[in-house]
Structure 1
Amino acid sequence: MSSITVTVIDREGTRTEGVDWKDYESLMEALTRHKYPILATCGGNASCSTCHAYLDPEAFRKSGGTNEEEEDLLEMLDDTRHETSRLSCQVEWSEDLDGAEVTIAPEW
């Protein structure tokens, strides 16, 4: 089993470096395992947007971008969407994301 580490900034602005993310998890699963307040109401099926997060620009580029389903949900987040917004349930583990910075988006 492989793992990488990411830096997570929570909704209060607290920065935590060295958060481990295992290769069998989505980003959402890693965040919830570390007890970050991700609702994941839909269980990681890209149908609720309660796992919205921002990636640093390089990590966003390396994450492979959004698919049509994810894009449709992100479009509904007018007030909180950024150009590096992702649904964390749709961000798959990759060694390329080692050291990424993830900011948990505000609750809507």
Structure 2
Amino acid sequence: MPITLSPRQRQHLKGLAHPLEPVVHVGAAGVSEAVVRVLGETLLRHELIKVKLPKLDDASAREALANEITLASGAALVQLLGRVLILYTPRAKDLPGKPRIQLPAA
């Protein structure tokens, strides 16, 4: 089931992501099995990440790539700004430890 965020929650996550650096870089080859695996592992550890997209001439191609990454990772799209994509996945309840990010009420 896809994660849905309210505008208030999305704004909160944008503020938390502002100081972060991209931890996953997608190359010119696009979304491969290795990229999806790394995205999953990184989202499990961090919950909120930035992804750097390759240089594309067309904004619609960038949006299509962002949607493909979002669907493949199962994360919520927080923001796509230029070549930087912000993704969020809440920590699974069966993992040890509490979620690091507490979202405001919708």
Alignment TM class, shorter chain as reference:
under 0.3
Q: Which has the higher helix share?
A: 2
> Structure 2 length normalisation: TM-score?
0.26
Q: Which has the higher strand share?
A: 1
Q: Which structure would you say has the larger Rg?
A: 2
> Structure 1 length normalisation: TM-score?
0.26
